[in-house]
Amino acid sequence: MMKKVYKSLKILLLLSCVVLAISCTESGGDDSPSSPSSSIPSENNDVSTRSASTDCGIPVNGNLENPLALRTNTVFSASGISGTLANVRISGDDFTVKLSGVSPKAGQAQAAANKITELSRNGIFYVESLNDCTVIRGGDPVLVGQLITIGGSSISEALLLSGLAEPDINDLCVPGQLLSCYDSLADSVGSSTPTNASDDNSDSGSTSSVSSSGNGFLWKPISEGDGNLVILVPNSKVKIVTVNGERGRSTGASNGRAGTFRFSKPGCSYGSSAKVRGFTSNAVATPLTSDGRTRLTINGCSRFEG
């Protein structure tokens, strides 16, 4: 037991060296240990950063960061174990991580584990949610953190949108506002409970073909009808639109666009960096704009067309 605890503490110290581009230096010497390597090679083996941006943010030391810069030479391998537990390998050491903020839905433990494995196939970034915060599973301490895909998406959020997980109200390693946002994401799935949500492993500026109605994306902070936010999209495949995790109410085609989505508050209420995402009816990410962007960051108070 003490050996396992020692190993967990060792890994905690190791992770503090690699997350958020922080470097460790040994006291009493001039040499600094190199960042841990992974069985998955990093992109170009450089030390550049990649930005991760999610619907609800990424918990880091008790705070939510969005976006979050991650080093491209800290890409690790991971696979699902059961439910929201994953095995992550760093520098040859295997350890168990509980995905922060989520727990598996009843009867979905194996499906959730399979989804974690699927989304981790190209490698993942690991972000510790709160220093030294662990849970006990099977009598052993387990780390709590986020797994972020190479495309910069949260696997916890993907499980929620897949209908495979639900917010974990007993998770003390994450801030309460994250769980509130996760509640909204879970509600956005609706009664259909899709189980094949997918991460597109692409940056927000990537493109793909769109079946367009001829007019572009429109963010209208104050609608004439009720004074609340309305979003119009050109892509007929978009059946779900979320803003900061809140799902809009679909009212069909209007004003030359393929889809209209109405929200419960004026656009300003969603902040100066509102996160907008589009999905098919099966919760698969699909372009919001005519140029193929699946996610947008918008100043909620301003009208935006794109």
pTM score of the predicted model: 0.55
Across residues 25-54, what is the average pLDDT? Answer: 46
User: Cα–Cα–Cα angle for 142, 88, 276, nearest 5°?
Assistant: 95
Asked whether residue 85 carries a pLDDT value surpassing 50, the answer given is yes
Please report which confidence band the pLDDT of residue 209 belongs to, taking 50, 70 and 90 as the band edges: very low
Beta-sheet strands, E only, within 195-238? 218-220, 230-233
pLDDT tens string 137-181:
888 889 999 999 988 889 999 999 888 999 888 888 888 888 888
Can you count the helices (H) and strands (E) in the chain? 4, 21
Whether the CB-CB separation of 96 and 116 falls below 8 Å is answered with no
pLDDT tens string 86-145:
999 877 889 899 999 999 999 999 999 999 999 999 899 999 888 888 888 888 889 999
Number of other residues whose CB lies within 10 A of the CB of residue 259: 24
pLDDT tens string 268-299:
999 988 999 888 877 778 888 888 888 889 99
- Please name the residue ranges forming H helices in the chain: 2-18, 109-119, 155-161, 176-189
CA distance 210 to 213: 9
Whether the CB-CB separation of 61 and 178 falls below 8 Å is answered with no
CA distance 109 to 152: 24
What are the chain's domains?
2-189 (2.40.50.90), 218-305 (2.60.40)
Left (φ > 0), alpha (ψ -120 to 50) or beta: where does 39 sit? Answer: alpha
Encoded amino acid at 24, one letter? C
Please report which confidence band the pLDDT of residue 230 belongs to, taking 50, 70 and 90 as the band edges: very high
260-292 per-residue burial string, b: 16 or more CB within 10 A, e: under 16: bbbbeebbebbeeebbbbbbbeebbbbbbbbeb
CA distance 53 to 58: 8
